[in-house]
Amino acid sequence: MKRTTASLLAVLLLAGACDSSGGGSSSSDVPGVTDTEITVGTHMPLTGPAAAGYSKIAPATKAYFDFVNAAGGINGRKITYKVKDDGYNPATTQQVVRELVLQDKVFAILNGLGTPTHSGVLDFLKTNKVPDLFVASGSRSWNQPDKYPGTFGFNPDYTVEGKILGTHVKDTYTGKKICFLGQDDDFGKDSLAGIEKVVGAVAAKQTYVTSNPNVGPQMGALKAAACEVVVLATVPGFTALSIGTAAKIGFKPQFVVSNVGSDPATVGKALGQAAPLLEGVVSANYLPLNTDDSSPWIQLFKKVNDQYNAGAEFDNNIVYGMSVGYLFVQSLQAAGKDLTRDGIIAAVQKNGFQGPGLVPLRFSDKDHSGYGGQQLTKVEGGKAVFIGQAYTTDDGDGAVQPYTGQAVTPPQNGIPTA
Amino acid sequence: MTDLREKSVAPVVPEKVGRKRRIPPAVAILLGAALILILTYTLPPFRNYQLATVGAYFTVTAGLTVLTGLNGQLSLGHGALMATGAYTFALTQNRWLSMPLSVLAAIVVTTLAGVVIGLAAARLRGPYLAGLTLAVAVVVPSVTSTFDTTFNSDMGLSIALDPPPGTIPMERWQAWLCWAGALVTAFLLATLTRGRFGRDIRAVRDDETAARLAGVHVARTQVLAFVVSAACAGLAGALFAVLAQSVSPGAFPLTLSLFLVMAIVIGGLGRLVGALLGALLLVLLPALAQTAGERSGSQHLEGNLALVIFGVVLVVVMLAAPGGLASIRFTLRRK
């Protein structure tokens, strides 16, 4: 009985094995790289509690790659982007990343999204020597060059953001009661650390988990503590939930929201009829805003979005996704024709990338964190607009300083050169 | 539950035929071990990882099928028991970095949890038992976020593991560990259910009053069955923790518990072969669903398609072969 079943098992697994081994034939030794193709993969919350807004990022990156591929690719190689849904569930991330690395043999993992999700695959990617580029999160974990030499961040880390938001809060709302609601993981903790570095201990702090879509008790506690300013380190769905819940219980503090949870288009959609509640919400960004039609970057990304992303609603997630694509193409160009995993890591460490960002990327051999600062935004008339100027700082005790560097414009054809 | 079993399984396993064809468990296990060894050397890494996952699932479905199929107790909370094992493993491993110790701790702690739930379960019947175990499954994420200093909330804990000995690839090592656990479990369960314990739990399942008249201690038998099954779940939880090198509440959602029950029903209730087939399906069907989702071009479909496929398979199998997949093969052979 057992033997028959066991042989059945063997046949099934072998059939599967043949299926996978027959597919890919590579002419070089580098996984995921042939003379005509580069395969990279990512894990994204296409479904689940963080899907609102974030599910648009990977299609935008893919659209930018299609745009580059249509122009002949990079060094004759076209970019294939494999997007796997992890539902923002760390356990699923484990599975899909193994599948990408072991089965699909991707060259690199690009822009894997989420602090709790991506934290769990760092060791696996390190063991398999897979470049782990431009993680879509601002956790400080990505910046550990000694421990994880192949991992690089993209977002400004949440502590940098917290310090910049904190400085604004301290200067603008002097003497008011400042409180905090954050995700119960490194996202929330790092963010709170940054804020408290500047404003001192907050009057009240609360946490939430994405598996429980109810922030009633938390907002109730903040109301009871008579908070006047509430800083949110939340993903978009929970930004909407927090602001909506506060309004329901007649609690109207000034909201200051982390960049990752602040896209007005995404949050506004989640709030539906209550979208006007967003008016006056303060946040920050480090990429051009989707509504700024005068920016040459926005013009380029809109063009790509119309041609290769079926004209998806153009929000800041699309700007983000395309900026990631642009940076990856820059890295490929810098790594040169003989593309290897070590080569691209060296190229990213060398840095010198100039792109859509308002502030420089911090990459070096000692520093693997992404953008080093942000500029404040405020929602006015349903749109986010920049206020003041961009600031940079570090995740330690360094001062928050104005950044005065000049913005660059994209190349004529929209594709960076080596 | 009792009704269901009387209709489905009892006629499918006529004792006489079963005994004639029986291979001694030890032989089957050795053959299985040899086969796994060959497979781990021939399969590519990702298939080895999937093979390891099948082994880990088999560990828990084997225990569950003894509980539900042979003893008639329906548990919707085995995912939570696995979480207990996995978290115990993670905490012990990160403290002392000794895998045998951590696995042992996982089994012991989950067994204790099994005693507590089993004691309550022995007093409940049918839907009330299902309700109790369901509550256990639902509570896992709240526990991890309430005691977040220990369990680190949704983010979970990452686990420090020693690298595999020598030059053995990670995935092969994982497959060996998982199948070692699974085969030992299967051997112990097969031996156990063929002896007096097996007769007792079947007697309790079929007719409690008759069993009591025959001198079987009903409550004790039920608690014991639950405890044995919980120990298997604890081991499986530890194996899953080894596989993922991390543990988080998202790995043990309510749907996992439901999938486990579905898997043993589809595979064939009360039979270890059925549990093995169920474990195989738990790995193959989601992979199939994902491929189908990708081919269809809709990325939003991917996350949800596995549920649909599982449901359809359940309906089809129950219509075509009420005794589960294991029974299909059996009837074919008899012809």
pLDDT tens column, B263-300: 999 999 999 999 999 999 999 988 888 777 777 766 55
pLDDT at residue A26 tops 60: no
Dist. CA A299–CA A316, nearest whole Å? 13
* Residue recorded with tokens 């990752």: A260
Q: Which of A285, A304, A332 is the last residue of a domain?
A: A285
- What is the three-class DSSP state of A286? coil
**Per-residue tokens: B39:** 């497979």
**What's the CATH number where A335 sits?**
3.40.50.2300
Please indicate whether residue B2 or residue B31 has the higher confidence score (pLDDT).
B31
Give the mean model confidence (pLDDT) for residues B311-328: 87
B278 contacts in chain A (CB < 8 Å): none
What residues form DSSP beta bridges with A378?
A: A282, A385
In chain A, the number of structural domains is 2
Interface of B with A in 16-35 (CB under 8 A): 21-23, 28, 31-32, 35
pLDDT at residue A93 tops 60: yes
Which residues touch B112 (CB under 8 Å, ≥6 apart)? none
A207 contacts in chain B (CB < 8 Å): 145, 148, 153
**Per-residue tokens: A280:** 């006056």
Least confident of A113-127, B8-22, B204-218: B8-22
Sorting pLDDT into bands at 50, 70 and 90, what band is B324?
confident
A13 contacts in chain B (CB < 8 Å): 39, 43, 47, 50-51
pLDDT at B287: 82
pLDDT at residue B6 tops 50: no
A352 alpha carbon, distance to own chain's centre: 21
A302 and A215 part of one domain = no
Please indicate whether residue A329 or residue B22 has the higher confidence score (pLDDT).
A329
pLDDT at residue A63 tops 70: yes
A145 and A188 part of one domain = no
Sorting pLDDT into bands at 50, 70 and 90, what band is A116?
confident
Q: What single-letter amino acid sits at A371?
A: Y
> What are the tens digits of pLDDT across the range A330-379?
999 999 999 999 999 999 999 989 999 999 999 999 999 999 999 999 99
A174 and A228 part of one domain = yes
Using a pLDDT cut of 70, give the percent of chain A over it.
93
pLDDT at B240: 94
What residues form DSSP beta bridges with A39?
A: A80
pLDDT at residue B103 tops 90: yes
A247 and A170 part of one domain = yes
* Residue recorded with tokens 């009829």: A273
Q: Is A152 a member of any domain? A: yes
CB contact under 8 A, B141 and A209: yes
CA distance B176 to chain A (A): 15
- What is the three-class DSSP state of A291? coil
pLDDT at residue A16 tops 50: no
> What are the tens digits of pLDDT across the range A174-187?
999 999 999 998 89
A194 and A167 part of one domain = yes
> Helices B272-296 and A2-23 meet at what angle, rounded to 10?
20
Sorting pLDDT into bands at 50, 70 and 90, what band is B301?
low
- The ipTM assigned to this model is 0.78
- B23, B53, B155, B179: which to substitute to probe chain A, counting the most A Cβ within 10 Å? B155
Q: Is A1 a member of any domain? A: no
**Per-residue tokens: A393:** 């700082």
Q: Which of A248, A263, A285 is the last residue of a domain?
A: A285
Q: Which of A285, A318, A339 is the last residue of a domain?
A: A285
pLDDT at residue A228 tops 90: yes
Q: Which helix (H) or strand (E) holds A282?
A: strand A282-285
pLDDT at B24: 85
pLDDT at A384: 92
Q: Domain ranges for chain B, please list them.
A: 2-254
- What is the three-class DSSP state of A204? strand
Q: What letters, b where the CB count within 10 A reaches 16 and e where it falls short, cover A101-110?
A: bbbbbbbbbb
Least confident of A409-418, B59-68, B179-188: A409-418
CA distance A91 to chain B (A): 5
A317 and A209 part of one domain = no
A124 and A199 part of one domain = no
Instruction: For residue A58, give the chain B residue with the closest CA.
Output: B299
Of A239, A233, A143, the closest CA to residue A184 belongs to A233
Which residues touch A388 (CB under 8 Å, ≥6 apart)? A375, A376
Sorting pLDDT into bands at 50, 70 and 90, what band is A22?
very low
CB neighbours (10 Å) of residue A343? 18
Give the mean model confidence (pLDDT) for residues B48-61: 95
Dist. CA A145–CA A365, nearest whole Å? 7
Dihedral angle sign, alpha carbons of residues B227, B231, B236, B240: positive
CA distance A223 to chain B (A): 21
Using a pLDDT cut of 90, give the percent of chain B over it.
58
Q: Is A7 a member of any domain? A: no
A2 contacts in chain B (CB < 8 Å): 23, 28, 31-32, 272-273
Least confident of A271-280, B4-13, B242-251: B4-13
A211 contacts in chain B (CB < 8 Å): 141, 145, 154, 249-250
Of A173, A193, A291, the closest CA to residue A233 belongs to A193
Dihedral angle sign, alpha carbons of residues A243, A318, A124, B238: positive
Q: Is the pTM of this model over 0.80?
A: yes
Give the mean model confidence (pLDDT) for residues A278-282: 95
Of A169, A116, A139, the closest CA to residue A284 belongs to A169
Domain that holds residue A168: 158-285
Give the mean model confidence (pLDDT) for residues A161-166: 95
Give pairs for A402-411: CB < 8 Å, separation 24+: A403/A358, A403/A359, A403/A373, A405/A359, A405/A360, A407/A358, A408/A354, A408/A355, A409/A296, A409/A297, A410/A296, A410/A297, A410/A300, A410/A326, A410/A355, A410/A356
A207 and A224 part of one domain = yes
Of A121, A88, A112, the closest CA to residue B158 belongs to A121
A16 contacts in chain B (CB < 8 Å): 47, 50, 284
CB contact under 8 A, B246 and A120: yes
pLDDT at B299: 57
Q: Is A46 a member of any domain? A: yes
Q: Which helix (H) or strand (E) holds A41?
A: strand A37-44
Alpha helices in A213-295 (DSSP H): 216-224, 236-248, 264-271
CA distance B114 to chain A (A): 24
Using a pLDDT cut of 90, give the percent of chain A over it.
79
Give the mean model confidence (pLDDT) for residues A21-50: 78
Please indicate whether residue B253 or residue A153 has the higher confidence score (pLDDT).
A153
Please indicate whether residue A213 or residue A300 has the higher confidence score (pLDDT).
A300
CB neighbours (10 Å) of residue B126? 13
Q: Is A381 a member of any domain? A: no
Alpha helices in A311-385 (DSSP H): 316-335, 341-350
Give the mean model confidence (pLDDT) for residues A156-179: 94
Give the mean model confidence (pLDDT) for residues B85-107: 95
Q: Is A5 a member of any domain? A: no
DSSP 8-state code for residue A278: G
